[in-house]
A = this chain, B = another copy of it.
Amino acid sequence: MTTRLELTEKIVRIKIEQDLSWSELAALADDLSKEFVTAGLLGQMTLPKQAAEAIGGKLGLDAFEIKLLQVPPYRGSLPTSVPTDPLIYRFYELVSVYGTTFKALIHEEFGDGIMSAIDFRMDMQREPNTAGDRVAITMSGKFLPYKSY
């Protein structure tokens, strides 16, 4: 076991073999959401020591692997710049279709700057609906203004 990618594949395999859910695994981490922990286990976030040890213990990872979960990863979870998986592609499509709208409305409300993708949190919930349940995603990112200098 050397790389974070191999560790991610190992975690996914053990999770399937042991019939674990991401929510169950995330519950082992103090004060962390299921979104953050899942991203960490999928190789995109750095887990705190407590979370890495608790979840690593549950999954039977070795000492190096538990340390590796605590090292900032080389991020980027997709094999191609345009994702081929339909679920993930729909989010890419939203960026493609709504990207200039995001830009227009955020600039209108806040002036020139961006929404941070670092000082950021997100939450995914089921939204019951008689016409078919909906996926509800809320995102919150700090507005960062461009500063003149």
Contact, CB under 8 Å: A115 / B87: yes
Q: How far is the CB of A133 from chain B (nearest CB, A)?
A: 5
Contact, CB under 8 Å: B118 / A145: yes
Find A35's partner among B68, B101, B107 (CB 8 Å cutoff).
B101
Contact, CB under 8 Å: A71 / B16: yes
Copies per complex?
10
In the complex, A99 Cα to B116 Cα: how many Å? 17
Interface of A is mostly: mixed
Given contacts A22-B105, A135-B110, A136-B139, contact A80 B78 (CB under 8 A): no
20 sample A-B contacts, Cβ–Cβ < 8 Å, listed by A number: A2-B13, A21-B108, A31-B148, A32-B148, A35-B101, A38-B104, A38-B105, A44-B97, A72-B112, A77-B101, A86-B117, A87-B106, A90-B114, A90-B115, A115-B137, A118-B146, A118-B147, A135-B139, A136-B140, A139-B139
* Residues of chain A at the chain B interface (Cβ within 8 Å): 2-3, 9-10, 13, 16-17, 21-23, 31-36, 38-39, 42, 44-46, 48, 64, 67-68, 71-72, 74-78, 80-122, 124, 126-127, 129, 131-149
